[in-house]
Amino acid sequence: MRRPIEQLPKAHLHLHFTGSMRHSTLIELAAKHGVHLPHALVEEWPPKLRATDERGWFRFQRLYDIARSVLQTPDDLYRLLRETAEDERAAGAGWLEIQVDPSGYASRFGGLTATLELILDAAQVAEAATGVGIGVMVAANRTKHPLDAKTLARLAVQYAGRGVVSFGLNNDERRGRALDFEGAFRIARRADLLLAPHGGELSGPRSVRECLDMLQADRIGHGVRAVEDPVLVERLAAQEVTLEVCPTSNVSLGVVDELEEVPLRRLFDAGVPVALGADDPLLFGPRLAEQYHIAREVFGFSDAELAELARMSIRASGAPEARKKEMLAGVDAWLAAPPARS
């Protein structure tokens, strides 16, 4: 007797823009714009990836870049966000934080500012159509120059309170250390944006500590390799820094070999706040609800524990307070309702 996961209100805090696209939409847009897709994105989808070495990460990035190249017109961006919001609603998400580096799209959409404005408008339209609240996380690329990150931070700050809720840092952790981006994060922090850099995915505990010490992170994208350092785990729990844990991504990118090795249970039991995320369903397959199913099936989370995971995702989100309150009440109602017979 278990409650339906799709009806549990939750927030999705780790989802990349192109990576959120439906696979069927990728195929359609590629045909429409005459973009040739490699086998790995068509017949052999989802592609077999292994990003724990430089070559594997390069291949992942290359596939991601090809997928991004099918987004050519403003209509494509509106479609992507509307469909993503529909999928989030189906998974029970009342809030979505979509992560985007506008510089990856700027050449096609009239520069950084015009691109971000387009994405913010598309997010608003998708929110109105689906009821899913959408906040945008502007994310810098750690393989580029730290000055580019500062430019993005200033742009994000201009739109704080107007759709942008958080600031992130992504791409290969082994290239570009967190400390190089201190200046950009200081700019974002002054505008009270939530700070959510990637760390502790491809690199070990040191990368997580740098996110805490240098960037004052509120949340960490992945962070799963923090478990290699028990003192760090205690610190994450004590400071209530949320880890955005994405189990299927960890397996797809070879961070762990099997789902069982994702340290979800260990982190949760140690009191570290965890928000489950899908990362890039376009390349990995599973979306948000599947992550909660994995918590239940693979890690034995009870309904009460699943409800706590949902609460942690909501509390760590950039959602407006009224929406947080409403969603948290929804979690309590979900848990209070008798489970369905199965």
Active site residues: 201
The verdict on 279 binding Zn ion (CB under 5 A) reads: yes
Measured from the CB of residue 158, what is the shortest distance to Zn ion in angstroms?
A: 24
Integer Cα distance of 73 and 70 in angstroms: 9
Residue 124 CA to chain centroid, in angstroms? 19
Q: Which is nearer to Zn ion, 61 or 124 (CB)?
A: 61
Integer Cα distance of 80 and 198 in angstroms: 23
Residues that bind Zn ion (rule: CB under 5 A) add up to a total of: 1
Q: Which is nearer to Zn ion, 281 or 330 (CB)?
A: 281
Residue facing Zn ion at closest CB distance: 279
Q: Which is nearer to Zn ion, 127 or 279 (CB)?
A: 279
Region of 57-65, 276-284, 303-311, 315-323 interacting with Zn ion (CB under 5 A): 276-284
Region of 114-122, 125-133, 259-267, 272-280 interacting with Zn ion (CB under 5 A): 272-280
Q: Which is nearer to Zn ion, 142 or 209 (CB)?
A: 142
3-state secondary structure the chain: CECCHHHCCEEEEEEECHHHCCHHHHHHHHHHHCCCCCHHHCCCCCCCCCCCCHHHHHHHHHHHHHHHCCCCCHHHHHHHHHHHHHHHHHCCEEEEEEEECHHHCCCCCCCHHHHHHHHHHHHHHHHHHHCCEEEEEEEEECCCCHHHHHHHHHHHHHCECCCEEEEEEECCCCCCCHHHHHHHHHHHHHCCCEEEEEECCCCCHHHHHHHHHCCCCCEEEECHHHHHCHHHHHHHHHHCCEEEECHHHHHHCCCCCCHHHCCHHHHHHCCCCEEECCECHHHHCCCHHHHHHHHHHCCCCCHHHHHHHHHHHHHCCCCCHHHHHHHHHHHHHHHHCCCECC
From 177, 175, 169, select the one nearest 150 (Cα to Cα): 169
Task: Sort strands 164-170 and 194-199 into parallel, antiparallel or unpaired.
Answer: parallel
Q: Which is nearer to Zn ion, 210 or 279 (CB)?
A: 279
Measured from the CB of residue 195, what is the shortest distance to Zn ion in angstroms?
A: 15
Measured from the CB of residue 247, what is the shortest distance to Zn ion in angstroms?
A: 13
Measured from the CB of residue 223, what is the shortest distance to Zn ion in angstroms?
A: 11
Backbone φ and ψ of 165, nearest 5°: -120, -20
Region of 56-64, 122-130, 274-282, 293-301 interacting with Zn ion (CB under 5 A): 274-282
The verdict on 201 binding Zn ion (CB under 5 A) reads: no
Region of 65-73, 89-97, 261-269, 275-283 interacting with Zn ion (CB under 5 A): 275-283
Q: Which is nearer to Zn ion, 76 or 101 (CB)?
A: 101
The verdict on 173 binding Zn ion (CB under 5 A) reads: no
Q: Which is nearer to Zn ion, 200 or 330 (CB)?
A: 200
Region of 159-167, 254-262, 271-279, 289-297 interacting with Zn ion (CB under 5 A): 271-279
Measured from the CB of residue 186, what is the shortest distance to Zn ion in angstroms?
A: 22
Measured from the CB of residue 166, what is the shortest distance to Zn ion in angstroms?
A: 13
Measured from the CB of residue 137, what is the shortest distance to Zn ion in angstroms?
A: 10
Each residue 135-154 as x (binds Zn ion by CB under 5 A) or -, in order, gives --------------------
Residue 186 CA to chain centroid, in angstroms? 21
Provide the binding-site residues for Zn ion, judged by CB under 5 A.
279
